[in-house]
Structure 1
Amino acid sequence: MEKLNKIYSLYPTRGLKCDGCNLGEDYYSDGYRCIRYGLFFHKECAKSDQDVCNLYHPQHTLKIKAISIIEDANGECKLCRGNLPKMYYYCSICDFAIDLVCARKVVVLTIDIPSTHEHRLSLVPKMNIFSCHICKLFDDQFPYACDICGLSFHKDCAESTPELNYSCHPKHSLKRLTRVPSYTNGKCCLCKIKLHIVFYHCSI
């Protein structure tokens, strides 16, 4: 709250989409709204820790940053590649930023039984340029690497299966894809968020 109160005039209320995490379009939550600008922040986002230690950036502590309505974050989250909202965690030494949602995620250090590889995969806790063995894309994120084979994977790719059955689409099995078909709108049919590197699709 300390950082937000320096920028916004907040009062407790309930609201939908949070300007701190960009989530909550479909449900009301307790939080705070700015009298002047109308921005809304979930209670847990407004009361986020001032400093966090994150295994994706172990060399420095990340500090909470809140920006005003007229400022633009001018960047993207280093983990999910989404645009940074009005609150995020930042390391000024390394110009490293992650959004509140990614900062809350549990960091998996090893994938002991990956669906797509026969050996254990370990997180490389620094940004590397690598080619994912599954989707073949070059990226500069945090790969999961096999020490035996020397192969690198995105986490989502390593944990994915070539095909799955899903209750929301019971008629056909879904196939894993890494390229968005041109005839789609490029968004998830359920949450409407832009598709990431690996996703599941029914061509039928």
Structure 2
Amino acid sequence: MLGPSYSCKECREEETFHHKSCAKLPLGLPHHPLHPLHPLILFDEYNSEVNKEFSNCNVCKEYCGEYCYFCYRCNFKLHIKCGSLAPTTEAPEVHHHPLTFFWKLITFTCDLCGKEDKGMPYVCNPCGFGIHTRCANFPRRLKVVQHNHPLNLIHSLELHQSNSQLCQLCFLKVGSKCDFAAHLDCAMSRGNMEDINLLELKEEESAESKSMLENVDSKLDQSVDSEICKVIKTIVREDGTKIATKIKHFSHEHDLKLTDEVPNNKICDRCVRAILTPSFYRCVHCSFFLHISCTKLPSIKQHPLHQHPLTLTYHKYFFCIVCGQWCNGLRYFCQRCYFELDVQCSLASNTLTHACHEHHFYLSTANYNQKCSICGSELYRVFHCTTCEFVLDFKCTTLPQSAWYNQHEHPFTLCYTPEDDSGEYYCDICEKERDSKQWFYYCADCNFPAHSECILGEFPNKKN
């Protein structure tokens, strides 16, 4: 919530806040043009005993929220935004003439966002320009998490198909002359919009702000972090490189020693992935194992999936909001809004190449769910191929390329196509049929195929 607001001191723990403009709403609208027959009363849906059915506005069809204007005689509901619409509005940054609200439902194409819709737009009578009421209230400048600079609002008349490119948030086509462009809905979504007050950004400070935004990752993502891993003992190799042979990791009570042995069926206790390299850390007091790479994770990380800095913590049981899975071990956590991100998901970047597909993937954070082409799950944070519309969710993207299973002597490799052309495929663990289109794990030495769920369990990022 930006700008002045009112709050209740007695209900502070419940975070009861109201915009200053909302607190000054009239209690009644006796003769509103959208419902002139009966008076409309300001109505609290959450606390009222009169009508317990939460519903949408009869005009804009959007959810009314906690408060709306309500007619007790005919059950007519009006969104407070629709009830407060000005008859005319000045929008010089969007259009050079005053815009008048059209009080009847019509089908039109918004000249700002380019979408066809049925509703009551703001229109310009002299030249036929028309936009959604919600588009008329969009901020003219905002900041998104995935881009370093503030974005300026332009309307669809300025777009040129010859310069058509992709929205850098959802990666669907949008025409623009800019290097970075985004759909209005994508930029305004809660997960994409940066939580900063751009009203305080002065023109003379723009150069300084630009430098600060561009350097935020380099300041936060440091490869050496004494808060995460304290080096107790090191050795110097012949080439002059220093190797930490004894460390203290913040997530474990005992000291860890570097081991140079060939691992067999060992799992890292903090990222829950197989240890396949000959060097790793282990505890001499208990059965605790740790990847070398897990000791080099930064304590604070600015990630394109979240608008606040994330802190590395250890938790026995948590839910990653990005891949939709229960996990344990290391996580990146936002104390401010309780956002939890698994380490594997945190390592994903904006662009991705994957062995399952010939084209590049791009991180897509649309404001609607997109269906994964492999497992069929629907999430709004996915990786999207712009060439052939192939989609991967984070669960499939972060599946380990190699994994151990119980006491099997060889590691299993993730496979994307059937091992032969027999047409009949079964899992050698559960002995049930496998879908030839689904990924599976395979031991080539033993000709041993298995479901990914049978190898990793229901949640790959959770240690059993």
TM-score by length of 1: 0.51
The aligned counterpart of 2:185 is 101
The aligned counterpart of 1:48 is 138
AA of the residue aligned to 1:29: G
Measure, in 2, the Cα distance between the counterparts of 1:12 and 1:84: 28
Once the two structures are superposed, the pairs formed by residues 111-122 of structure 1 within 5 Å of their partners are: 112=320, 114=323, 120-122=344-346
Given the alignment of the two structures, is residue 198 of structure 1 paired with residue 286 of structure 2, yes or no?
Answer: no
Asked which structure has the greater CA Rg, the reply is: 2
| 1:122-162 alpha-carbon deviations (Å, 9 max, x no partner) | 3867x53x2257x6253363379xxxxxxxxxx957x7872
The aligned counterpart of 2:168 is 78
Distance 1:5 1:105, change over 3 A: same
Given the alignment of the two structures, is residue 2 of structure 1 paired with residue 92 of structure 2, yes or no?
Answer: yes
Superposed displacement of residue 4, structure 1:
1.4
The aligned counterpart of 1:131 is 353
Q: How many equivalent pairs are there?
A: 147
Is the 1:4–1:66 contact (alpha carbons within 8 Å) kept by the matching residues of 2? yes
Is the 2:111–2:155 contact (alpha carbons within 8 Å) kept by the matching residues of 1? no
The one of 139, 149, 154 equivalent to 1:65 is 154
Superposed displacement of residue 68, structure 1:
3.3
Distance 1:116 1:22, change over 3 A: farther
Distance 1:3 1:131, change over 3 A: same
Query: Higher RCO, 1 or 2 (CA under 8 Å, sep at least 6)?
Result: 1
Q: Secondary structure in 2 aligned to 1:138?
A: coil
Is the 2:110–2:131 contact (alpha carbons within 8 Å) kept by the matching residues of 1? yes
The aligned counterpart of 1:19 is 111
| 1:87-145 alpha-carbon deviations (Å, 9 max, x no partner) | x8x9x5xx1010101112232439816258975413867x53x2257x6253363379x
Measure, in 2, the Cα distance between the counterparts of 1:112 and 1:67: 37
Measure, in 1, the Cα distance between the counterparts of 2:348 and 2:126: 44
The unaligned stretches of length 5 or more in structure 1 are 145-154, 165-177, 180-194, 200-204
The aligned counterpart of 2:363 is 142
Is the 2:113–2:156 contact (alpha carbons within 8 Å) kept by the matching residues of 1? no
Distance 1:138 1:106, change over 3 A: farther
Distance 1:23 1:39, change over 3 A: same
Distance 1:82 1:20, change over 3 A: farther
Measure, in 2, the Cα distance between the counterparts of 1:12 and 1:123: 48
Report the RMSD for the aligned CA atoms in angstroms. Answer: 4.4
Is the 1:115–1:160 contact (alpha carbons within 8 Å) kept by the matching residues of 2? no
